[in-house]
A = this chain, B = another copy of it.
Amino acid sequence: MKGREFKDAMYNGLAKMLKAISNPSRLEIIEMLSQGEKSVEGIVHTTSLTFANASQHLQVLKNNNIVKSRKERQYVYYSLVNDDFLSVYQHIIRFASQEIAALERIMSRQRQDNNAQHAVSLVELEQMVEGGNVLLLDVRPSVEYELGHITGAISIPMNELLTNLKNIASDKDVIAYCRGPFCVLADEAVKLLKEKGYKVRRLDEGYPEWKIKQTMSN
């Protein structure tokens, strides 16, 4: 196999995989499955796709090794092939949320609607931590936490949050943070923890902003 032939095969394969996830409906399905296995019915129910259409999208994802299925009784359950894909997906989401201007605007607007009046500033955070009963939660991927985090924060990456609720004392004021105002991880964490009955708010800034503030005051 010659160089060009190899390149063509490589780029064709990669493009094929990317095409499989380049569709709004399939992205929504991926997002759903990232929270765990779902039946076709479950997917149809929350996406407003028809059965036939959802099934077609699932076939595309399956043919590209992104999801797998198993049959139990008359139901077919779909799930992501593995966590590596999830990590890629999160990187893509992160990039997109930071870089695509339109998306950025939509997201910040959405955040205003939902959470802005409740978000904690860095100054407030300092006071609250001094005051006492606060749990500061870093929901970025653990790699990023290890490279640096806000003093006193504990790390539970967003994709592990649901399975690690036991590590969050339910009597504390939880403050979730991530990479900054345009990162959605903390928003997702707030949403999930609220549903589970926690007292939780997000930091309006993120680790990068905190880091800069630290550096400047020293």
State the A residues within 8 Å of B (CB). Answer: 1, 4, 6-15, 17-19, 21-28, 31, 48, 64-65, 81-82, 84-85, 87-88, 91-96, 98-103, 106-107, 109-110, 113, 143, 146-147
Contact = CB atoms under 8 A, between A and B. Distances in A.
Nearest to A31: B11
A24 to B, nearest CB: 4
A15 B23 contact: yes
Contact of A11 (B14, B24, B91, B146): B24
A85 B99 CA distance: 9
Given A15-B23, A18-B27, 14 more contacts: A1-B106, A4-B48, A11-B31, A13-B102, A14-B96, A14-B100, A15-B24, A17-B100, A19-B22, A64-B100, A84-B95, A85-B95, A87-B91, A91-B92
Nearest to A101: B65
B106 A13 contact: yes
Contacts of A4: 48
A98 B110 CA distance: 36
A1 B109 contact: yes
Give the residue among A18, A25, A82 with the most B Cβ atoms within 10 A: A18
A14 B92 contact: yes
Given A1-B110, A147-B146, A103 B10 contact: yes
14 contacts: A1-B110, A9-B103, A10-B103, A13-B100, A13-B106, A14-B24, A15-B23, A15-B27, A17-B100, A18-B18, A64-B100, A65-B100, A87-B91, A91-B91
